[in-house]
Amino acid sequence: MGLARLQTEGVIHRMKSLFCLLLAATAAVTAAAAKPNVLFVISDDLNYALSGLGHPESKTPNLDRFAKTGVSFTRAYCQFPFCGPSRASIMTGQYPSVNGVMRNGGKVDPNRVTLPRHFANHGYWTARVSKIYHMGIPIDIVQGTSGPDHAASWHEAHNITALETMTPGKLADYTHPDAAKNYPAERAKWAAAHRAGTPYKMHPSIRGDYAVLEVAEKDTGLLADTMAVDKALALLKGRQGKAKPFFLAVGLVRPHFPFMATEGSLEPYDARRMAYPDFPKDDHADMPSGSKGRMMDLKKSAVREVRRGYYGAVTYMDEQFGRLMAGLDHLKLRGNTIVVFVSDHGYLLGEHQMWKKGVLWNEAIHVPLIISAPGKKQAARTHRIVELVDLYPTLSELAGLPPEPKAQGQSLVPLLNNPAARLDRQDAMTTVSRGHGLRSGKWAFMWYPASKRAQTEGFMLYDMEKDPKQFTNLAEDPAHAAIKDKLFKRLKQRLELAQ
């Protein structure tokens, strides 16, 4: 009897142990399922050109619809208006002076606990599609290469390979009009290389800095962002029913040049009616030398054509974003998914006779940012000044993750609850190779320290309420000496705090 009793008690003990293990496993699965997913979407070179945010020409119906599900940040600024440094700043949660990425091609420390790696460390499956860290566009798309990616951030990483400027369609290159003559031979080399699984070296004519390409609707599948969304949707489908929550980062490379769009996405734009970025004849007279970006003396007709191409590329990108969101809804994943849409930096399209990025002008640093999160405000706007470096702590808090100690931004969750909330930091700092900028209240302030190239330091100060196009530099106006001094002190303080 004693032996039987001991055997019975042993069985009961083992059953209790097994039951406890099952309870623990069930709790772990339930906790994982309760964690929100993250879909992080980043556009490339997109300035503040969303129709729903008041842009007079650009057409972005899908992003406008998405904005109704979350909070739009009307005063979001990047920390360095180049792809590589800006994206590194977002992903590390650190200012460029701290993470060390101050140029395109710079690499994030492989040991840095980046935003996706922080999520991976807390039970998330992480993946990227296309450009998240820096990639050269179009070269890394044409070659199907990763650029200076951060491999430790991802469980899976998927590059996109596409023809880019070589895609069949109507091409107009406004600085290299004969570029297309190389494309038939280059297409053949590209196809042969990919069939053989050997590297393809991009011909310089394919770069297309000022090229506009109109692609037939039937060939939409040849475009990089269409491929990226196709891949992202396949990955999302694969996450259905999985215990681990996901952090999926999707890079849309448009409207980065070459300005590629479908017939339908270009149809709303008539180059003859596109606005021309007029500026005073003496516009450059009060500019420090360090403030000047890439200058291009294009004919007015060419400027309008390139701007048409840019906005057509924006509309095409918007269509792909719409497909991605529709897929998220169709897969019934939206209810428990935080969705972020952001651009890495802005872009000049002839303003001040300048083009591209890498400067402190408003068009280059002001970006769209929309965050849609379960249980947070919808169809709301906040006019508080924020930085893209804030995304790291924001997403960590939204997901219930502990703060990452080396992330430098501040959480924007208070603004997702109350768009009028007051944050501790109320200004934004941006750095470029030759200077630093500060956005505070209605003021835009820039400082260009003395250097070998510029023997004397330079300053710019603009009242963005009275002078939103930044034509009148008030830095040397005695009536504004006090505000200049105040902003300069604050900028130097910010620079010290960022170290």
Model confidence pLDDT, tens digit, residues 53-76 = 999 999 999 999 999 999 999 999
- In this prediction, residues 321-342 reach a mean pLDDT of 98
Does residue 229 contact residue 324 with C-beta atoms inside 8 Å?
A: yes
Pick the residue with more confidence: 30 or 387? 387
**In whole angstroms, how large is the CA radius of gyration of the chain?**
25
Q: Which residue has the tokens 């339908």?
A: 264
pLDDT tops 50 at residue 484? yes
Q: Lowest mean pLDDT of 9-18, 84-93, 306-315, name the range.
A: 9-18
Q: Could you tell me the pLDDT band of residue 9, with boundaries at 50, 70 and 90?
A: low
- In this prediction, residues 370-380 reach a mean pLDDT of 98
Q: Residues for the chain: how many in total?
A: 499
Count the neighbouring beta carbons within 10 Å of the beta carbon of residue 285.
Answer: 8
Which two three-digit tokens encode residue 309?
A: 């191409």
- Per-residue pLDDT of 253-271, as tens digits, reads 999 999 999 999 999 999 9
CA 345 to chain centroid, in Å, comes to 7
**What is the per-residue pLDDT for 22?**
45
pLDDT tops 60 at residue 27? no
**What is the per-residue pLDDT for 355?**
97
Q: Shortest CA distance to 417 belongs to which of 453, 380, 446? A: 380
Strand order in the sheet with 125-129: 156-158, 125-129, 246-255, 37-44, 337-343, 366-372, 71-77, 380-387
pLDDT tops 50 at residue 26? no
pLDDT tops 50 at residue 353? yes
Specify the amino acid at residue 134: H
Q: Could you tell me the pLDDT band of residue 452, with boundaries at 50, 70 and 90?
A: confident
pLDDT tops 90 at residue 455? no
Q: Shortest CA distance to 140 belongs to which of 126, 127, 158? A: 158
Q: Which residue has the tokens 């960590």?
A: 396
**What is the per-residue pLDDT for 346?**
98
Cα–Cα distance, 221 to 200 (Å, whole number): 21
Count the neighbouring beta carbons within 10 Å of the beta carbon of residue 332.
Answer: 9
**What is the per-residue pLDDT for 293?**
87
- In this prediction, residues 327-337 reach a mean pLDDT of 97
- In this prediction, residues 420-431 reach a mean pLDDT of 98
Q: Which residue has the tokens 């390139």?
A: 306
- Per-residue pLDDT of 305-324, as tens digits, reads 999 999 999 999 999 999 99
**What is the per-residue pLDDT for 25?**
44
**What is the per-residue pLDDT for 451?**
84
Does residue 23 contact residue 235 with C-beta atoms inside 8 Å?
A: no
Does residue 459 contact residue 452 with C-beta atoms inside 8 Å?
A: no
Does residue 261 contact residue 309 with C-beta atoms inside 8 Å?
A: yes
Kindly report the pTM of this predicted structure.
0.93
Rounded to whole angstroms, what are the CA distances from 322 to 55, 64, 295, 369, 381?
A: 19, 10, 35, 16, 20
CA 80 to chain centroid, in Å, comes to 12
**What is the per-residue pLDDT for 454?**
76
CA 495 to chain centroid, in Å, comes to 23
Cα–Cα distance, 355 to 253 (Å, whole number): 18
Q: Fill in the DSSP letter of residue 433.
A: T
Cα–Cα distance, 257 to 34 (Å, whole number): 40
**What is the per-residue pLDDT for 21?**
47
**What is the per-residue pLDDT for 249?**
98
- Per-residue pLDDT of 205-234, as tens digits, reads 999 999 999 999 999 999 999 999 999 999
Q: Shortest CA distance to 334 belongs to which of 397, 230, 400, 246? A: 246
Percent of the chain's residues with pLDDT above 90: 89
Q: Fill in the DSSP letter of residue 47.
A: -
pLDDT tops 80 at residue 300? yes
- Find the helix or strand (DSSP H, E) in which 397 lies: helix 391-398
Q: Fill in the DSSP letter of residue 52.
A: G
Cα–Cα distance, 322 to 254 (Å, whole number): 14
Cα–Cα distance, 383 to 362 (Å, whole number): 16
- Per-residue pLDDT of 384-418, as tens digits, reads 999 999 999 999 999 999 999 999 999 999 999 99
Buried b (16+ CB within 10 A) or exposed e, 378-405: eebbbebbbbbbbbbbbbbbbbebeebe
**What is the per-residue pLDDT for 6?**
40
- In this prediction, residues 420-449 reach a mean pLDDT of 97
**What is the per-residue pLDDT for 319?**
98
